[in-house]
Structure formats: structure tokens, C-alpha cells
């Protein structure tokens, strides 16, 4: 959670634009995320938060502006002063620096927890089984699920499945973790255990961009909160300032609506 401001930013978005046909979804996003920083992205449904996350790890190509992750232009290679689009293999390689956790946990249902965790390291990184298993077990321990290594996803609660999904992303030793509403699909009583794992990860120094409606988490864990509306960054600042003392009218209206929601949806 301590940002090293003199280092190259982990994420640098300059005037990033994205269209889906005639629908302009990102209208020039400028955002820097420093190494070790935790940024929460908030905003109404449809404002472009998921699309922006997907642009960070090149699940979507951008239509304008530039995006760098860890100093490298996402999806392109600079040779001389010309940009060349990366091959599929090169994109996969850069993407392995970035871990992503979705609202739906997306675990492989026919694999045990341990098999889920070692799949990508074995296939993508060609790791030896013993190495992959050792790291997987240590990460399962970190998320409090050592005893579930041989369980299948369907035998776990939603909160446990999401913790497995986080451990699975960490098995690739990412430099950056993206979370897209990781607790939105969970029963209210299971939200806390997932947020706790995310908080521990933040404390350990991981750089994180988190789309969330959990305002307490944003206020307590994020270094910075970014409010997006209609494809723009409308307001950003230290988490506490934005959440407790928003300046923009749209931020005020959004926070009022989110904070008014009953805890159990």
C-alpha cells in the first residue's frame, strides 16, 4: 500500500478510448497507478469500469490513446520508432504479468482446487509439477484453504471459490492484480472473507486495481479512489477524501445511492 512514486508507474493510461461500434465507452481515460498502490474504481453500471480493466490486460484492444503496463505498451512492440502489434503468443506472455479476478469465479469445474491452481503455471510457464504444487499449496495456505486442495469447486461456498480464484491468479506471480466486482456475486455473509484476503494482499505490497461497490473496503484499503461516469474519470483522489467528501455532483449522487443500499441485497 506504499506507493513508490519515483518508479515507473505499473499502469499508465493516456487518453485511452474504446468504442463498441457507435457506442463510445471510454472517452479518454488518464490514469496512473504506481507500484504498490491500491486503486479502487467506482461508478455506476455501464460507466466503462469493466471495459477499462479489460483494456489493461488487453482482453480488449484500445481504439485511441496509449496504455502501458509495467513500462511496456500493452499489445504493441516498439521497434525503432514504429509500433508493431504483438503476436498472440507475445500478448499471452505479457498478460501473465497481470492477474485478473472476476465476479464469477470461473474455476474449472472438473478440476480439483489444486489442479485449478497448477494448470496455468504448468501450461503457460512450463513449470515442473513439484514447483507448481509447492507454490499452489503455500498460496492456498495464505487464503486459508489448505484443507480444500483436493475438493472440487462445487463442494465449496462462493466465498471459498473466490478465494481459490485469487490464489489461482497469484500462482502466476503477477506484478499487478485486477479485480472486477469480486464480491458482487456473493451472499453478504461471505463478502468479508474475500475482502480480508484482498486486504492482506494489499498489505503485502501488491499493486491492485479493484472495481467494487464495497465503500468501506475502498475507504480503508485503497490509496486512491477513482470515480468513473459515462466513459470519463470524473473525480479521483485519496480514498477517504473522495468517499467522505466528494466534490463533483455526480460523485455525490452515486455515493449517496450506493451508501443508501441495504447491506443484504
Question: In this chain, which of 4, 7, 8, 20 binds ligand ADP, going by CB under 6 A?
Answer: 20
The 3-state DSSP composition of the chain as helix, strand, coil percent (nearest 5) reads: 40, 25, 35
Region near ligand ADP per CB under 6 A, out of 48-56, 74-82, 96-104, 156-164:
48-56
Contact partners, residue 14, CB within 8 Å, separation at least 6: 30, 65, 66, 67
Region near ligand ADP per CB under 6 A, out of 18-26, 109-117, 119-127, 159-167:
18-26
Task: CB nearer to ligand ADP: give 9 or 48.
Answer: 48
What is the C-alpha separation between 5 and 243, in angstroms, rounded?
Answer: 23
C-alpha distances out from residue 212 to 41, 43, 80, 263, Å: 7, 9, 40, 14
What is the C-alpha separation between 265 and 250, in angstroms, rounded?
Answer: 23
Helices (H), 46-187: 49-56, 88-95, 113-123, 129-142, 158-170
Closest residue to Mg ion in the complex (CB): 50
Question: In this chain, which of 34, 35, 47, 251 binds ligand ADP, going by CB under 6 A?
Answer: 47
Contact (CB, 8 A) for 190 and 110: no
Q: Is 50 in the site for ligand ADP (CB under 6 A)?
A: yes
Task: CB nearer to ligand ADP: give 30 or 141.
Answer: 30
Q: What are the residues facing 263 on neighbouring strands?
A: none
Instruction: Work out what residue 243 binds among Mg ion, ligand ADP, none; the CB cut-off runs from 5 to 8 Å by kind.
Output: none
Calculate ∠ Cα 188-147-128, nearest 5°: 115
**Residues of span 206-265 touching ligand ADP by CB under 6 A:** none
Task: CB nearer to ligand ADP: give 76 or 227.
Answer: 227
Q: Is 22 in the site for ligand ADP (CB under 6 A)?
A: no
Question: In this chain, which of 50, 86, 212, 251 binds Mg ion, going by CB under 5 A?
Answer: 50
The residue ranges that bind ligand ADP (CB under 6 A) are 20, 23, 25, 43, 45-51
Amino acid at each position: 500500500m506504499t506507493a513508490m512514486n519515483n518508479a515507473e508507474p505499473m499502469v499508465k493510461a493516456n487518453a485511452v478510448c474504446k468504442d463498441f461500434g457507435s457506442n463510445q465507452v471510454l472517452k479518454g481515460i488518464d490514469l496512473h497507478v504506481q507500484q504498490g498502490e491500491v486503486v479502487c474504481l467506482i461508478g455506476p453500471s455501464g460507466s466503462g469500469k469493466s471495459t477499462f480493466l479489460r483494456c489493461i490486460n488487453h482482453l480488449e484492444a484500445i481504439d485511441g490513446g496509449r496504455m502501458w503496463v509495467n513500462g511496456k505498451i500493452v499489445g504493441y512492440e516498439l521497434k525503432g520508432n514504429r509500433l508493431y502489434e504483438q503476436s498472440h503468443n507475445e500478448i499471452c506472455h505479457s498478460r501473465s504479468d497481470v492477474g485478473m479476478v472476476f465476479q464469477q469465479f470461473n474455476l474449472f469445474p472438473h478440476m480439483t482446487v489444486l489442479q485449478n491452481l497448477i494448470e496455468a503455471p504448468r501450461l503457460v510457464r512450463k513449470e515442473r509439477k513439484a514447483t507448481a504444487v509447492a507454490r499452489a499449496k503455500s498460496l492456498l495456505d495464505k487464503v486459508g484453504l489448505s484443507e480444500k486442495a483436493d475438493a472440487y469447486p462445487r463442494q465449496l461456498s462462493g466465498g471459498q471459490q473466490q478465494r481459490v480464484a485469487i490464489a489461482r491468479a497469484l500462482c502466476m506471480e503477477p506484478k499487478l492484480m485486477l479485480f472486477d466486482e469480486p464480491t458482487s456475486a456473493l451472499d453478504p455473509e461471505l463478502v468479508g472473507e474475500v475482502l480480508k484476503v484482498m486486504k492482506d494482499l494489499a498489505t503485502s505490497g501488491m499493486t491492485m486495481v479493484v472495481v467494487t461497490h464495497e465503500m468501506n473496503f475502498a475507504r480503508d484499503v485503497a490509496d486512491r479512489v477513482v470515480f468513473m461516469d459515462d466513459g470519463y474519470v470524473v473525480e479521483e483522489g485519496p480514498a477517504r477524501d473522495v468517499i467522505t467528501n466528494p466534490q463533483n455532483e455526480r460523485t455525490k449522487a452515486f455515493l449517496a445511492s450506493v451508501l443508501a443500499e441495504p447491506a443484504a441485497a
